[in-house]
C-alpha cells in the first residue's frame, strides 16, 4: 500500500524528531552506507535462491535509497532554515506528505470496509433457480405483467413477506407487488 518513499518519509519524521544537525548528518551517513550495502546485496543474491519468508533485497534496497534521499532532504532543510533541531511539525513539505499519506490510508480503510460489507452482503444473499409448473408459471407471469415487474422481482417480494408460525407452517399476508 505504501511506496518506499512513503515508508521512508514516515520513518524519518518519527526517528528524526528532536535530532540535532550533527545527528541528522549521522543518519545521512548511515543511510548512505545502508543504501550501498543493500545495492551490493541485491547484485550478489539471486532472486530464485530466496525463501518465501525472506525479505526481497530489491524492496530493501529501494527503502534505503528512499531513506537516504529523505535524510538528505531533512539535513538540507535544517541547514537552509537554520534549525538546531528537527521538528516534523515545522517541516511543511514533510507535513504535507504525512497528511496525504493519512488521507490515502483513510480512503483505503473506507474502501476495504465497503468491500467487506459487500462480501458479507453477498454471503447473506440467496440466489436460486425455481422451476414452476406451467399453471404457477402462467399466474406468476400474469402478475408480473400487471405490476410491471420481472417474475423474479415478484418472487423476491413474496419471499420477503413469508412468516413461519410455531407449527412450521408458512404464511404470507395479502400484499400488492410494487
Q: What is the pLDDT of residue 129?
A: 86
pLDDT level of residue 130 (50, 70, 90 thresholds): confident
Q: Domains of the chain: which residue ranges?
A: 4-123, 134-171
pLDDT level of residue 151 (50, 70, 90 thresholds): very high
Q: In terms of DSSP bridges, do strands 163-164 and 170-171 run parallel, antiparallel, or are they unpaired?
A: antiparallel
Q: Where do the H-state alpha helices sit in the chain?
A: 4-16, 21-44, 57-81, 92-124, 134-147, 151-160
95 versus 53: which is more confidently predicted? Answer: 95
Specify the 3-state DSSP secondary structure of 149: coil
CA distance 136 to 122: 29
User: For 14-71, what is each residue's pLDDT tens digit?
Assistant: 999 999 999 999 999 999 999 999 999 888 876 555 555 567 888 899 999 999 999 9
CA distance 90 to 72: 16
Q: What is the pLDDT of residue 45?
A: 73
CA distance 178 to 17: 63
Find all residues with CB under 8 Å of 7, minimum gap 6, and list them: 63, 66
Global confidence as pTM: 0.62
Burial 90-103 (b: 16+ CB within 10 A, else e): ebeebeebbeebee
Q: Average pLDDT, stretch 120-127? A: 81
Examine the pLDDT at 126 and tell me if it is beyond 90. no
Amino acid at each position: 500500500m505504501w511506496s518506499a518513499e512513503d515508508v521512508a518519509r514516515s520513518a524519518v519524521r518519527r526517528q528524526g524528531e528532536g535530532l540535532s544537525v550533527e545527528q541528522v548528518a549521522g543518519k545521512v551517513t548511515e543511510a548512505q552506507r545502508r543504501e550501498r550495502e543493500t545495492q551490493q546485496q541485491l547484485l550478489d543474491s539471486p532472486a530464485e535462491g530466496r525463501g518465501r519468508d525472506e525479505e526481497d533485497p530489491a524492496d530493501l534496497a529501494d527503502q534505503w535509497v528512499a531513506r537516504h534521499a529523505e535524510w538528505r532532504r531533512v539535513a538540507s532543510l535544517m541547514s537552509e532554515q537554520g534549525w538546531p533541531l528537527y521538528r516534523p511539525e515545522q517541516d511543511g513539505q514533510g507535513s504535507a506528505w504525512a497528511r496525504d499519506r493519512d488521507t490515502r490510508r483513510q480512503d483505503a480503510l473506507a474502501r476495504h470496509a465497503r468491500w467487506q460489507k459487500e462480501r458479507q452482503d453477498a454471503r447473506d444473499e440467496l440466489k436460486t433457480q425455481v422451476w414452476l409448473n406451467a399453471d404457477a408459471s402462467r399466474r406468476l407471469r400474469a402478475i408480473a405483467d400487471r405490476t410491471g415487474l420481472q417474475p423474479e422481482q415478484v418472487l423476491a417480494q413474496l419471499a420477503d413477506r413469508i412468516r413461519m408460525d410455531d407449527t412450521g407452517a408458512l404464511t404470507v399476508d395479502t400484499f400488492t407487488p410494487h
